[in-house]
Amino acid sequence: MQQIEQKPPFPPFTLETAKQKVRMAEDGWNSRDPEKVALAYTVDSQWRNRSEFPVGREQIKSFLQKKWQREIEYRLVKELWAYTENRIAVRFAYEWHDEKGQWFRSYGNENWEFDENGLMKTRYASINDLSISEEERKLIWPQGRRPDDYPSLSEMGL
């Protein structure tokens, strides 16, 4: 008997469970662990990320490995924008630097759709990069999970 993969909370979402899902996604991406992050998506999940269109966990893992090799010292904050029964929209900002030490703040929006088991089956991301100086950074905490008392995007004016 095959075990069904599940990733609570499950749709239909409430305000509380949508916020929980957003924070779980943020925490996963801040781990920068492609294997762990990929488990939040269906095996045939479809993405649009800028000009790339990964399909399925293996392509997602490969995409994330390359992303976090290129985007050094990556730190992300996500914020719930809207939700319905099985969809969530978020806005986000993340900061990182390239191999030359140039810092960037990347802003964007994502639209997510989930299956009945709480796995994300579609992810559409639109992202813009802004070159910043190191002094302009706002997402400064030890690498990993954003501390619970760290300001939100709205609180930081982002």
Q: Which domains does the chain have, with CATH numbers?
A: 15-90+109-124 (3.10.450.50)
pLDDT (tens digit, 9 = 90+) per residue, 104-158? 999 999 999 999 999 999 999 999 999 999 999 999 999 999 999 999 999 999 9
As a dihedral over the C-alpha atoms of residue 16, residue 13, residue 120, residue 116, rounded to 10 degrees, the angle is 140
CA dihedral sign of residues 59, 60, 65, 69: positive
pLDDT (tens digit, 9 = 90+) per residue, 32-77? 999 999 999 999 999 999 999 999 999 999 999 999 999 999 999 9
**What is the DSSP secondary structure assignment for residue 4, as one 8-state letter?**
P
pLDDT band at 3 (very low <50, low <70, confident <90, very high): confident
Helices (H), the chain: 15-31, 34-38, 56-70, 153-156
- Kindly state the helix (H) or strand (E) to which residue 5 belongs, with its residue range: none
